[in-house]
Each structure stands twice: as structure tokens, then as C-alpha cells.
Structure 1
């Protein structure tokens, strides 16, 4: 996602000649209400209008067939996700279920602790700075910490950005990192929001100072992400390495593409997650939620984004070996590079998020 920005009434089921048990009726109303609200949001706001209509039609067909009847928690999320993915996969589309929603005997979804935004910042070796970002949050303290890291390591000959477990976020931290790395104003990527969403004031990227509105495709409002160099030239010739994996998603892929297509950084690791579309979080009722993609980010030179495919690294190695490869390329002795790599291994998964199992 880019920022955590944030309707329809519940559908009433027609009465049948034989009344269902109250618990069943309540479950059915809740499940169908969640599904219908999701369908309405996708139809109204999804980045590609025709695809949004197809998503909504598939969900409504499932409602009509009774597919979601009596489903709750993980089972309901899995069923809706499967119906949406069958229309067109999207790396951001996944129903968020309420905390503790799993029933007895039903496997609860894997939940990791909240992401620590910045880990292990500092000098990893003489002249070589290292920092791991796990998320780019809407948090002024994290932005200040990112800016301080750059200032504190402005004499580095190389900086290693570890985003192998970076799940997404916004532009704030990027906008205090990039000015240190470029010698002249540079266009990084283009971001295009569905025009109807933008016109209603619903764009999650409207008003960001580093974005410039430009002419774009019909039905979209395009903004280019630019970097303006700061006054300190010390890092402009530093080597920049970006460690990637299948767990590198969304805003982290934005960061990766900006480094790759400008030639300013070298990506080392595995292809990224392929979760391109940016958007905003929405509540579906009953503790359920969803992220609704309203725009896409792409290479301004080619017009291509990374949805589904990810961004290929410049140097392809197993993600767990990416830091080892960079350190040895920078002249660190193999034994010491291996020790440092192990000491800086991420604790979160370095792989693409797996789809929910079919029910």
C-alpha cells in the first residue's frame, strides 16, 4: 500500500417457507453483507474499471448461489479470495478477517508480530552502512530516523538497503532517502490513480510534494515521483545495493524500481512479490476489512508495472545469500562476510505470500 487511508447496507435475505435456525440465518446475513460491500467497493473504485465489474459480478454470483452461507472467519476470507483470484489475481486483494475469528478445529491464519520499521541500522563494516526497512509507515518518527541514518552515514562508500522483508507503505521515508543519492533532479516512477477516485478526493497520493501531475492515460490521473537532490554531495557517488526477495512488496517494489530503472542502485536477491497496485484500506463490517487498489505504479520509460511478475534483480541469488554476495563483492573476506550475513538475517519470511488454501 501507499498510505493506510482510509457503503452499503446489509443485504436482507428473503424469508423462506421453512425458517432456518436463527444462528444460520445470522451467519448468512453477515457473510453476504461482507461480500456485497467488498463487491461494491471493487466495482466503484478498483484501478481497472472493467476488472472491478468482473470481480463484483463473481462475488455476487457466489452470494446468489449460497456459496458463502454459514462461512465465517478464515473460511469466508478464503472463499471470497478464491472467487476474486479466479477472475484476475492481484497481489493486494485479500480479505482481512477479524482477530480471533477461527472456529474450533479450523486453522488460524499465521499472524506475525507487527513489523518493526527499521532494524540494525549502522556500520556493518568499515565504510559500509546497512539498514533494514520492513515497512514505510505514515510515522514522522520513522521518517526522522531514516533521515538521521542517511546523515549519520553520509561518508559511506556503500549503503546496503535490506528490503527482503518489506511489506509496503508510503513515500515519506523514500523522500528523505533519495535526495542524498542523486546528483540532479530525476524522475523515478509514475503513479496513476483511477480518475473517478481522484475526482472524489479519494486518491491516497494527492498532495504529496514529490509528485508532479502529468498527462496520463484516459480515465487515470498520472503523477510522476521526482527526487530533488539535497545540498550535501557526499553520497552521490556511493555504491547503493538493494537486497530483495519474494517478500519485497508494494512500496518496497516502488523503491526497487526507482533504484533499478534510474541505474542508481543494484538489486541483489530474488524477484520481488509482484504486488503493484496502491490504494486504501476499507472496512467491510463485522471486523472484516480489505485493501482496495485504486492506482498503479510503473516505469515511465516503458509504461510497464510489476503486478504479478515482480521486479527482477540485477544479481540473482537466493535471498538468504544476498547480503553475503554484496559484502564479498565489496571486498569483505568470505568468512567475515558469512558471519555478518548471519548476524543480519531477517526474522520474517523472505518469500511471496501464499494464497489462502481452497476450502
Structure 2
């Protein structure tokens, strides 16, 4: 049986293995068979896993690329052609192919086939926007407007006390801009802790239905208001997003928009809502396989494939200026 080596609700970094220069036909066949086995064992949708399996069974191995990275990308694109999924991905031993599912499938011209998953953060911003996830005070980017630039939702840079201290430090009358551009996600509980500061009442955040053997398990998660940062619950708020805002970062934008808590500004987000785990395959390959569906417990809606559509659609490079102007209008003199 294949054993998951990384349990991840959303997108995560995956350590590379030592790549080989070429794969024999038998090796490629073994990789395909192990991928089919993993999908059959763990993918949450019976219909989708059957269609994936059929597509893999009809591969002409002799015609498939022999290089590890090209072969991983070949498998990745074949699966995405069957069912585009923001978290479904096939990785070669060096972890350089199949990193972004839906976006890579939508636009082959922008396909990213080199660099590890953790490298896909985009260029650093200016001095105002760098390193916000580890600072205890948020910079003022305009009179009465604070900015929090979050590169990910990771416990390496965030904990509950840090979240609550940052948001609890907002002064009366100040507004908040949460910058999630190029944020590829992380741990959903970190956003739930954040939501505990941003909502004055207990608030449903997400529901997740996970495959368990041939059945499923439904779990609902909500945010509980925190006394340590309750002052942040009534602060005017904007959230900046772009096409590389994914997974838990999309969850944040989705919930804050759906509950009427913040204005979303920028461009449509990536579109990855399914829960996923990473499974090892033959010859150092691996696959991120969706094991469940994440959705809004109030409406049943999710953002898989479609992403979150901003309230104010602007070029992401100009989203900060647009948010400052929007908040200035909303808050008045």
C-alpha cells in the first residue's frame, strides 16, 4: 500500500529526490502503474479517478518522454486534460514538473517546469512589502492604513500569538490591507485564528469532506472570536490577490468576501480548493492527489477551478494603490 509522506490541506513545498538522467520503458510503466494505484486508492471522486485511470491505461509508453522531468510533465498534463484540478500534480524526482495544475493547464505558454514548489512566490516587492509575516507591528502605507503582506500561511512564520498581537495592535480608526498576492497557501488553521480577530461573532469558515476508504468524513470548521484582538473585528479591510493566490490564501479571500467582511482587489485567484496529500510513486516520482472537497458550509460553494473573483478587478501590480484609494473613500476624512 502507498503511504502518504506529507499530509497537506493545501499547497506545500516538497523536497526533491536525486533525479536520474533517463527512464527505461519498464521504469516508466512502473511509474504509471504506481500513479494509477495511488489515484485509485486515495482520490475522493469515484468518477474522476475512473477517468484518470482509463487515461493512464491507454498511454503508449514507448512514445512517452524518457527524461524524468518531461515524463512527469507528460503525466501531469494528461491528467489535467481529463479533469483540471488545482491541487492534482505529478512530480519527477527533482520536483520540477507538474507544480501548478489548473493554471499550467490553462496556459501552456506560462507553464512553470523548473524550480521547486516553494520557489513559486514571484518577485519580492519594495521595502514596504517585504517580510511582513515575521514582524510584530504592521507598517503604515498611508495615513490610517496598515499593510500585512503574507507570503504564505506557514507555522514557520506564523503562530496564534503573533497573529493576534499584530491584529490586536490596530488602533481605533485604522484600516487593514491584507496582501495575499503570490501566496500559495499553507495551513488553514492559521486563517481560522486570523478570522477569530476579524469577526465579532462565531463564523463558519469551511467544511471539508474527506475520503475515508470507500466512504467519507465531513468536518466543519469555524472561527471563534478572540479577546486578544477583538478590536480588529470592525476595522475596514481590503485583500489583495492575483493569479498566484492559491489554496488557503484563496480560502481567506473567499470567506472574507462571502461574509461581507472585506473588499477583494486585484485579479482572479488560482482556483485550488480541494484537500490533497502527497504520495510517493515508483522511482522517486510523487503525486499530489486530492482526497476531499473543501467548501463553504453555508452555501456549498467552492473556488475550485474558478478562483475568487475580486470585487474590484485591477492589474495586481496596482492593487495596493487601488486598495489605498478604495479604503480612503470608504473610511472618509
For the criterion TM > 0.5, the same-fold answer is yes
Deviations 1:86-117 (A, max 9, x none): 21111112212222989xxxx99332664578
Could you tell me which of 225, 228, 241 is aligned with 1:229?
225
CA 1:30 to 1:255, structure 2 compared with 1: closer, same or farther past 3 Å? Answer: same
How far apart, CA to CA, are the structure 1 residues paired with 2:96 and 2:259?
Answer: 45
2:294 and 2:171 mapped to 1: Cα distance? 29
TM-score by length of 1: 0.72
Q: Does 1:311 align with 2:308?
A: yes
| Cα pair distance change 1:314/1:70, threshold 3 Å | closer
SS in 2 for 1:236: helix
1:235 Cα deviation from its structure 2 partner = 1.2
SS in 2 for 1:235: helix
TM-score by length of 2: 0.77
Greater fraction of residues in helix: 2
* Structure 1 alignment gaps of length 5 or more: 7-22, 198-218, 333-359
- Structure 1 residue 67, shift from structure 2 partner: 4.7
Change (3 A) 1:158 1:124: same
SS of alignment partner, residue 330 of structure 1: helix
Partner residue of 1:294 out of 277, 281, 291? 291
SS at match of 1:189: strand
1:21-170 superposed matches below 5 A: 27-62=24-59, 65-67=60-62, 71-99=66-94, 109-111=113-115, 114=119, 118=133, 121-139=138-156, 144-153=161-170, 155=172, 157-170=174-187
Confirm or deny that 1:192 pairs with 2:206: no
Residue 233 of structure 2 aligns to a residue whose secondary structure is: coil
Distance (whole Å) between structure 1 residues aligned to residue 32 and residue 133 of structure 2: 36
Displacement, 1:243? 0.7
* SS across alignment from 1:183: coil
State the SS of the aligned residue for 2:24: helix
Gaps of 5+ in 2: 1-7, 15-20, 98-110, 122-130
Q: Alignment partner of 1:172: what SS?
A: helix
Q: Aligned equivalents of 1:144 and 1:93: distance in 2? A: 33
What's 1:247 paired with?
Answer: 244
Cα deviation for residue 155 of structure 1 reads: 4.6
